[in-house]
Every structure is written in structure tokens, then in C-alpha cells.
Structure 1
Amino acid sequence: MKLCVIAIVISVSVINSEEMKPLNILAIFPFPGKSHGIIFNNLLEALVRRGHNLTHVSYFPINKPLKYYRHIHLAEDTSAKVLEDDFVLESSYSTILEVNKLVVVAGNENCKMLLDNKHVQKLWMEKTKFDLVVYEYFSTDCPLAIAHRLGAPVVGLTGCTLMAWQFDTLGVPFNPSFVPQQFLDGDAKPTLFQRIERTLFHHYFNLYYKLIGIATDEQTVKSYFDDVPSLSELARNVKIILMNTYWMLFDFNLLPPNVIEIGGFHVSGNISLPNKLLQFIEESEHGVIYVSFGSIIKSSVSDSDKIEKIVGALSKLPQRIIWKWEDHKPPGNLDKIYVSKWLPQKDILAHPKVLAFLSHCGLVSTTEAVTFGVPIVGMPIFGDQPTNAAAIEEKGFGVRVQLSELTSEHLLEKFKTVLDPHFRAKVKSLSKSWQDRPMKPMETAIFWTEFAARHPNHTFRAPAADVPLYQYLNLDILLVFIVFAFTVFLGFKYLISVVFINVARNSNKAKKQ
């Protein structure tokens, strides 16, 4: 018995020592979206604190003194613009097309800026040894060319649901009858019109990305490397994709085994609020409603009519208001309002007196509210927000209001729904289920990141990613059935014609006799 115990202790020690072996990690995050940088840095910081050496290429450094951390700033000596407070409250087909174009073109620009950076070039020219490359799986796969040159396995990290062009790469089936299209409204039970809409936009986004995104990036990569496979091929060999979702909110995708859900991984750490803000919340007699439309939507310059409708609804509620507002002058004539250009959102949502959240339904905001059990009134604008808002309402975490339907009375009714004690109790219960997992999301993210480095010679992609289109659509099987049916038809036709000919001959013989 003692020998068994000793053997177990030694085995665990060996496993732990292997897991804790310091890795040399290269993290490449070339997209200049502030909300993206904020959540990704949580995982990168956790990896450094585990003793790994990290070289971080991005626009958003980790602003903490970390011993094994080095940052390469992509905005250095350039006019690169960080995406922050750039959009207004507007939702339409033209907005969808414009945002899709922005994402793809931004990916092309990010690719050029990344490969043109002299410090990044130095990494591959000096053949720096890296055990792993972590990159943002979003609008460009250019980091994969660098990873290939360095001979390192790759982990992708995405802060949103899958983009249209990522379904085929991962071998994920897209069926518009139950799988939402990220940029469009609709839940897992769409109408006929929504299914048509999803199909058209899905194929349009795919085609646009292949003709503009991938094609442009391929030309950029060729100007720096002459011995790198196509980006499409490299994308199929990414070891692990870590995605900021969880099946409790999104259960409509048939994800392959190498796509690991880590929804809410960034929601951790101590809760800390500025004294003035903390006092504002704690002195609220009826609680607080938090209002924010994310880091890239500028509320203060949005359509004044929409803002007035929001203010009209909020003014009829007894709760205090905290609003991410980019102007010094508060919106409307709201009493008891706290405004700031920047707010510690995660810490605000964690406070028990925060009763509801008026949100654009970005995935970062959504996962934070779900984690802390704060009911959401969703007002989606673009990107993955319509999909997130639909999932929020379908799963019972909140309700949604379309911009086209926005009135003060309609919004007020939505707030009354989520502020109802029974509704809030249900959301709290769902939140407990959301948090009840075998491993914490951050621990899951760290495990699979280190797993990819421990097993660099294995790729775990779904077989569907390698199946030719004609097989994926079962066209060959259909052809066999058609040929078989046609052959049977010809056979019956031949037999019938033979029978009729014999009958005719016998009839003629009988007449002659």
C-alpha cells in the first residue's frame, strides 16, 4: 500500500514538473481593438505568472511589472489608430456590410504592419526559439507565417463567436436552420426570412474574405517569405482554438474537439472600485442600473433621438444610473447619475446592488454580466452583438430591444421585466450553473495552451476540415443514387418494351393463322 502511495506521489510530481516547465511563448495580437486587448492580456499575464517567458506583440501591453515579459509595440513609429469610441448607435444592412469590410481590410492592414515591424522581423531573422505561438484568431492569419518560419506550434484565441470564414477552416457545419450568422439577428429558431438572410450573408462574407482578405494577405506574406505554405493551409494546422463562449449561452454550434470553450476566462481577480463610485453604488436606496455600449461605440455623439428615448425610460425608474459616457455633460435630465469615459465594468457588475445592465451585447460584456448574474437589456448594434443578444434572451439571461423598435415605453417595459425579483432570481440561478465547471475557464485556457506546447507534433482538427466539398455535401452519394435510379428506370423500360414487342408479335401471328 505504501509503495502505491509513493508511486502516485512520484507520478503527480513528474506531471506537475512537466506542466510547470517554463515555455518561451510568442503572443501576436495585431488587431487594434481595445476590448480585445483587455481580455487577452488576462490570459497572457496568467501565463507569465506561471513562470513562462512571454514576448508580446500588440497595441496593448500588460501594464504591470512582470519579470519574464517583453512587449513589442505595433504602434511604435506609425500612425496606427486604436479602435475606441469610433461608432455610433446605428444598425442597418449598410452597417453590417461596412463592419465586415472594416474587419477584413483592418486584417490586411494589420498584416502589413506586423510583418513590417523591425522588432518582429528580428525574431524570425535571428531564428529566435519559441515553444509556442499564441495569436488572435480573428481578421488575419498572417501570424501563422511567422509561426511557420519559427517552427512553433500555434494556439488561436478568439474573443467572439466564429466568423463566417472560420467554419470551413475548422470543419464546423453551418446550417442556417439553427446556427445564427454572427452579424445578423435571430436565435436558434429562425424564420424562413432569417434563414434566407443567413445563407446569403454567410456566403457573401466567405467570398469577400477569400477574394479580399486572404488574397491580399497572401501577397503581403510573399513579399517577406518565399518558402511558406498558404495561409489557408496553415490555418488548418492550428493546434487549439480557445473561444470566449460556453455551451450554456451558445449551444447551436457543433464544435470540433480542438475548439475549447473558455467563456468568461477573463473574469477573475479582486473586485476594486474607486471610493467615489463605490459610495455612489452603496448609497443607492433602490439599486443601480449600469449603461454601457462598449469600447468602440460612442454614446455621446449618437443619434440624439435614440439617447432621449433611453433617458426617457431610465428617468421613470427609481434606480441610480451609472453610464459610460464620453462627454462631461451627462445625457438628458437624469437625476442621480454617475458618468465617466472609462469605468471598471467588471467590478461594477460584481457589486450586488447593480440590478440590470443596458448593453450592446458585446461578448466581453455579456460574459461578465452572466458570470455575476446581472440581467441584461440587450440593444445590439453590429458584429456578434445580434447573435449574443438573441442567445441572451433565448437562454433567459435577459431581454433584447432592437434599435428599430426603440421607444421609451418599450424600453421601460423591458427594464421592468428584468428588474422583477423572480426574473433576477432566475438569472442568478443560471449564473451559478454557468460558473459550475470541472475547471475554471482560466485554468482551462492555461491547460490547453500548455498542452499544445507539450504535444507539438499532433494536430487535432476535425475530419470535416479536410473533406472535399463534393463529399461534404454528399454529392457523390447523390450521384450514385441518381445513376442507380436511372439504371433501374431504363431496365424497367427495356423489359416493358420487350414485353410489348412479344405481345405484338404473338398478336400478329394469331391474326395470320
Structure 2
Amino acid sequence: MKTAMGRATLIGFCVALILSGASAGNVLAIFPHFGYSHFKVVLPILNELSQRGHRLTVISYVRHPQAAQLPDYEELLISDANEDQSNTTINVVPLSEHTPTRSLWELLKEYYELYTNGQISCESLFQSGHVETILERHKQQPYDLLLTEYFSRDCQLAVAQLLKLPIIGISTCALMPYYYDRIDLPDTPSYVQSEFVGFPRPLQWRDRLLNFFQAKLLKLIYRLHTNRADNALIKRYLDIDVDVDAVARAQTAFILGNQHYSHMGSRPRTQQFLEVGGVHITTKDEQQLSPHIVQFLEQSKQGVIFISWGSMVRASSIDAEKLDAIIEVLQQQPLNVIWKWESSEPPKPQLDASKFLFVKWAPQLALLCQPKVSLFWAHAGLLGLTEALHCGKPMLMTPIYGDQFLNAYAAQDRGIGLKLDYLDINVEMLQESLHELRKPSYASRAAQLAQIFNQRERTPLETAIWSVEHVMQHGMFAVELLQSPGIELNWFIYHSLDSLAVILVVVLLLLIASWRALTRGQTPRKPPKSKKAKRS
């Protein structure tokens, strides 16, 4: 009896292995951007796909910290093997160069910086030799899809065309304006703001004008400038002619956006755009508190302000005058302070250690979800902001660059925080901001919004994994069904200008005909003869 049961168990185990192998997919992931915060969004998706039995080949700049522990996970790095990636904080945008305005000139400068970094990433990708490696491997064990980031370049899409792969793009920040048309996603500049801008709602006339102009202009520049550079680079390395924009339109199945309507607002969406805001948030991350932080929280009877300006800006680079103002105000207010401070030395040696705790690395999600943390002073980067949304914490936000202005205004519009420009930081403004944020309405709104943010049909990770497995199962047929017919139309037909032209011509002809009919019915009257003429 035991032998029979043992055989049955063994057979069942073998069948499970066979079925698991049959359903396992072969995923190609390409993430050449150097930003750790961008790759952090993708990590849980890669981890879950690996745990579910799929094979992954990942070309990336950033190392996966647990790559060795993942089954069927191969990492092909384009960064220097000896590069120290342990410090994830880099001063990409010095605070001395910060500009609070979202003028058209600043948007164009920002676009060009992204373009430059994107081309450097593309050069590193093709110089690494990994592209040739995966092209050869595909002949032996075909890949099922390309998982990649839609951010500032598309040179990696040459691989999708050569291997005929469906594409799932991940937008780790608010979606760039030049990606909307690829999935026929309405941009509606009267109220939908892209990554490049950031204005309070409702948009004033000048804001709408700039929003309209950047939405249309940057799309055109990206196609004529960035995509042409991508195509030329591909021609130089692979000796093939590729139009990466056409590849994206024809082969993109989904774009996963790291956003959620509870924060960014309700917007028109297509079947191909899936909101996965907060996909990087894991239960494990909520538990990463070190003993000295726990001890500091326990002694903070009044609560704590947590200050972190992300991985791209060093807080220790704050101007001396502003730093003095910040410390003066923080000392006067009742809450204790945990401050992500990258320097080995604190900003002031005489600061009270019972009130201030400076940490080089902060377990951000774990801290924000602590009941003792009452307020988060952030730079409004999307990862930290979504973690604050998840934990239900009000925010003081000092945006520095990129989508941080958009994120900050969106949170302020929701009544869960205040935007304080870097140039406006002084004793008076900071005191006013902290006093305002102590009002119960901010904490109450933040708690309410957290419930909406966290209560979804599927978790963000489940949505992302479903999209990948759906495309792996159905391939390009899924892309064919998902695609909007609108992407095949030229702009004249798409906006029904041909129909409007016909209607205008008909109306014009009717007006002309009516005018002629009216004028034809009116016979000119002869002037009456004068009496003098009759007498004569």
C-alpha cells in the first residue's frame, strides 16, 4: 500500500515537473539605464518571474543583489565588472543647478540630457557583445518576449524586430509624452500632464499652453532626433535598417506605468496601459529596520519626521544658508528627526543625538510604515512618494528635477502634502509649512488615500506578472488583438479632419447658395422721378 502511494506521489511529482517545464517561458529583459531607482522598480517583477519557473536572461547596467539565489536567472552586465555599486546615492543633479521653473527652455535642456544619457546607455549595450550573444541563443532556445524600460532611448528594440518578439515596456516614472502615441493613449493636454511638466490643478491658460506645446513638440523631437540616432547606432553595430518607432508601434503589447489614479488622477486609458504604481513595494521591505533605528523610534514619544531626498541627490550638498535654516526649524519643532545623510559627518557636530539620527542608508518603506513616523520630507521621487501613499503618511515635498514637480503637485492637489521649492527654503517658509502639515486633515486624507491605493482588483505585482504570462502564452496574436486601430492612421484621418473638411465645404456651399438666393429675389427699385422732370 505504501509502495503504491509512493509511486503515485512520484508520478504526480513528475507530472507537475513536466507541466511546469511546459508552461515555463523564456524572457529576455534589457535595462541599460544606470539609475538604481529605475531598476528597483523592475526587481520584484524579475524575482517573481524567476520564482514561477520562467527562464530569464537580463541585460542590465545595475547588478541584481540576489541574482545568485534566483533559479534560471542569468545576468549580463554592461557596467564595468569592477564598478562599486554599493553606494546607490549619486549627485546627478547638483542642488546648485536646481531650477524651480518648468519653462520650455528647461524642458528642452532636460530632454537633451536624457537623450545624451540614453545614447551612452545604447553604446554600452552594443559594445558589451551581449546583443550578439542573445541573437545566437535565440536560435537554440527562442525567447518569448522582450521586457524593457520605455524611458529615453529605443535602440534595444532592434532585438525585438530581429527576433520577432512582442514587447512589454515599463515606465518607471510618469509616462514620457513621446510614448503615448505608441498605444493610442490620449494625452489631452488641457489636463493630462506628462513627465516633463508639473503644475497645480486646474491648469491655468499659460500652463495649458506650455503643456500642449511640450506634448506635441517633444513627440516630434524624439522621433526626428532620438529615434534617428537610435536607428543610426543600430546600423553602425548590426548593419541593419531599423525604424525603432515603427517597431514599438507594431510590437508593443503593454506599457506598465508606475503610477495609480489615486495619486495622479483619473485619466483616459487604453487596454495596453496598465497601472502598476507601487509594484516595487514588498512585505520584506517593510521589515528592514536596524536595531539602532528601532531604539530611536521607541524613544521618540512625540513622533518623527523622516527626511530623504532619494538616490540621485546628496542631502549633504544642501547650501550652507539653507541647511542652517532647516536645522534651526527642526530643533524648534516637537518631532524627532531621522535624516538620510550620506556624509560621514553630521551637518552640525553639536546637534542633540536624542533628537537627530543621521543614517547613510535608510530603510525607507519600513520607516514610513512605522506609526511613530508622522511626516515625510521628500524630493517627490515616484518610489518614495508611492511608499508614502502605501503607508498613508503626509508629505513635505521639495522637487529637484524631472517628474518630481508633477508628483509633488499631484500629491498637493490630493490634500496629502505641501510643495516647498528648494529656493524658498528659509526659516519662515519652513515653519509655515510644518505648521500647516500638523493640521489633522493631512493625516486623515493620507490614511484615506492609502486605503484606495492599496485596495485593487489585483496587486501591482500580480498585474505585471499577468501581463507577461499573457503575452508569453499568446505571443504576437495578443499584440494584434490589444492594439488600437488608431496607431495605423495618419494624423489627418485620426483627428477626422477629412470629415470636418467635407462638412465645412458643404456648410460653406449652403451659405453661398442661400446668400445668392436671397440676393436674387431682391430686384433693385428705380429711383422716383422728380416733379421738375414731370413739368418739363
TM exceeding 0.5: yes
Distance 1:310 1:209, change over 3 A: farther
Instruction: Output the CA distance in 2 between the equivalents of 1:439 and 1:422.
Output: 29
Match of residue 404, structure 2, among 385, 393, 399 = 385
Q: Secondary structure at the match of 1:61?
A: coil
User: Letter of the aligned partner of 1:265 in structure 2?
Assistant: V
2:481 is equivalent to residue 475 of structure 1: no
2:291 is equivalent to residue 280 of structure 1: no
Q: Which residue of 2 aligns with 1:102?
A: 113
User: Letter of the aligned partner of 2:281 in structure 1?
Assistant: V
The alpha carbon displacement at 1:415 in A equals 2.1
The alpha carbon displacement at 1:250 in A equals 1.6
Q: Which residue of 2 aligns with 1:27?
A: 29
The alpha carbon displacement at 1:78 in A equals 9.7
8 Å CA contact 1:57–1:74 kept in 2: the answer is: yes
Aligned identity (percent) is 29
User: Letter of the aligned partner of 2:26 in structure 1?
Assistant: N
Q: Deviations over 1:398-436 (max 9, x none)?
A: 222223433322222222333334431331122112111
Distance 1:79 1:286, change over 3 A: closer
User: Letter of the aligned partner of 2:447 in structure 1?
Assistant: K
8 Å CA contact 1:188–1:252 kept in 2: the answer is: no
Q: Which residue of 1 aligns with 2:274?
A: 260
Which structure 2 segments of 5+ residues have no match? 1-14, 528-536
Q: Residues 302-451 of structure 1: matches in 2 within 5 Å? A: 302-332=318-348, 334-335=351-352, 336-451=355-470
Q: Which residue of 2 aligns with 1:6?
A: none
User: Letter of the aligned partner of 1:156 in structure 2?
Assistant: G
Question: TM-score when scaled to structure 2?
Answer: 0.85
8 Å CA contact 1:25–1:53 kept in 2: the answer is: yes
Q: Which residue of 2 aligns with 1:58?
A: 60
User: Letter of the aligned partner of 2:414 in structure 1?
Assistant: K
The alpha carbon displacement at 1:96 in A equals 4.1
User: Letter of the aligned partner of 1:481 in structure 2?
Assistant: I
The alpha carbon displacement at 1:208 in A equals 3.0
Q: Which residue of 1 aligns with 2:7?
A: none
8 Å CA contact 1:33–1:83 kept in 2: the answer is: no
8 Å CA contact 1:355–1:419 kept in 2: the answer is: no
The alpha carbon displacement at 1:184 in A equals 2.3
Q: Deviations over 1:260-287 (max 9, x none)?
A: 1011111112212111122112221111
Q: Which moved more, 1:163-172 or 1:379-388?
A: 163-172
8 Å CA contact 2:200–2:409 kept in 1: the answer is: yes
Q: Secondary structure at the match of 1:338?
A: strand
2:89 is equivalent to residue 73 of structure 1: no
Q: Which residue of 1 aligns with 2:93?
A: 87
Q: Which residue of 2 aligns with 1:294?
A: 310
8 Å CA contact 1:464–1:472 kept in 2: the answer is: yes
Q: Secondary structure at the match of 2:431?
A: helix
Question: TM-score when scaled to structure 1?
Answer: 0.89
8 Å CA contact 1:58–1:71 kept in 2: the answer is: yes
8 Å CA contact 2:390–2:454 kept in 1: the answer is: yes
Match of residue 126, structure 2, among 106, 115, 118 = 115
User: Letter of the aligned partner of 2:301 in structure 1?
Assistant: E
Q: Secondary structure at the match of 1:176?
A: coil
Q: Residues 168-317 of structure 1: matches in 2 within 5 Å? A: 168-227=181-240, 229-236=242-249, 237-270=251-284, 271-317=287-333
Instruction: Output the CA distance in 2 between the equivalents of 1:425 and 1:126.
Output: 54
The alpha carbon displacement at 1:243 in A equals 1.0
Q: Which residue of 1 aligns with 2:11?
A: none
8 Å CA contact 1:88–1:303 kept in 2: the answer is: no
User: Letter of the aligned partner of 1:72 in structure 2?
Assistant: L
Q: Which has the larger radius of gyration?
A: 2
8 Å CA contact 2:59–2:130 kept in 1: the answer is: no
8 Å CA contact 2:21–2:53 kept in 1: the answer is: no
Q: Which residue of 2 aligns with 1:458?
A: 478
Q: Which residue of 1 aligns with 2:512?
A: 490
Q: Which residue of 1 aligns with 2:136?
A: 125
Instruction: Output the CA distance in 1 between the equivalents of 2:156 and 2:193.
Output: 28
User: Letter of the aligned partner of 2:80 in structure 1?
Assistant: E
8 Å CA contact 1:148–1:228 kept in 2: the answer is: no
The alpha carbon displacement at 1:79 in A equals 8.7
8 Å CA contact 1:95–1:382 kept in 2: the answer is: no
Distance 1:228 1:281, change over 3 A: farther
Q: Deviations over 1:192-235 (max 9, x none)?
A: 12112222333342233223211100101122345564111111
Q: Which residue of 1 aligns with 2:47?
A: 45
Please tell me the root mean square deviation across aligned C-alpha atoms, in Å: 2.7
Distance 1:497 1:166, change over 3 A: same
8 Å CA contact 2:231–2:241 kept in 1: the answer is: no
8 Å CA contact 2:259–2:277 kept in 1: the answer is: yes
The alpha carbon displacement at 1:301 in A equals 1.7
